[in-house]
Amino acid sequence: MSFMGIDLSSSSKRGSYFALLDTEGSLIYLDSFKAVDELMDVLRAHSPDLIAIDAPLSLPLGLDCLEEECPCAPMLEQKGRMSEQELASMHIGCFFTTKRSIIKGLIYRGLDLRRDLEAKGYRVIEVYPYATKVLLFGGKMPPKNTARGLAFLKDKLSGVVTGLAPYQSGLNHHGCDAVLSAYTAWLHQGDRTDSLGAREEGHIVVPQLLAPVLS
């Protein structure tokens, strides 16, 4: 079995990263892609059992799109999706999926990728690496876009995922998020995750609440 994590960018002009873990949770492949066709080539070669994507993969109930001129409206009187509200109640910050979202490009790309992958028979889940980091490593982390933050993340990742050594020198925070996404998929296969939100709207999968760091 293998498990893929994807750190999706908002545009094909920027690279997205993917990581592949084996059945033992060890990293066996880490790379980037721009066009979805490049990703499909990798999928055909490796056929992962579960794909975890770091991007919103569903809209709030009642919404058909995120265009402000469209009359579609959320069914519930809350900001964003139920899963995002649960994250907020856990004091884990996130971008809410609304018509005023600043990440519309990422959301639309995530929706399209999920449809494409599921149409080809792949199992897909939505994950949120920041939540994974908070739940596994604690909330006090240096900013990931700093050298100190990247060093912190590499150190913590090496404690839960084996096989990182060949990639350490070139590993950036996007690659780290891809590995965290794949690790969350690996945990999910082993029934060591919680699914936030509601099935009819779409879950965000996170490590079991208050679970110890696993290796």
- Higher local confidence (pLDDT), 6 or 35: 6
- In whole angstroms, give the CA distance from residue 147 to residue 152: 9
pLDDT at 80: 95
The string of pLDDT tens digits covering residues 27-81 is 999 999 999 999 999 999 999 999 999 999 999 999 999 999 999 999 988 999 9
Tell me the three-class secondary structure of 89-153, residue by residue: HCCCCCCCCCCCCCCHHHHHHHHHHHHHHHHCCCCEEEECHHHHHHHHHCCCCCCCCCHHHHHHH
- Helices of type H across 27-95: 36-46, 82-89
- In whole angstroms, give the CA distance from residue 62 to residue 45: 38
Please name which of 60, 106, 55, 108 lies closest in space to residue 80, comparing C-alpha atoms: 60
The string of pLDDT tens digits covering residues 131-174 is 999 999 987 888 888 999 999 999 999 999 999 999 998 999 99
- pTM higher than 0.85 for the full model? yes
Evaluate if residue 211 carries a pLDDT over 80: no
Query: What CATH code is assigned to 2-204?
Result: 3.30.420.10
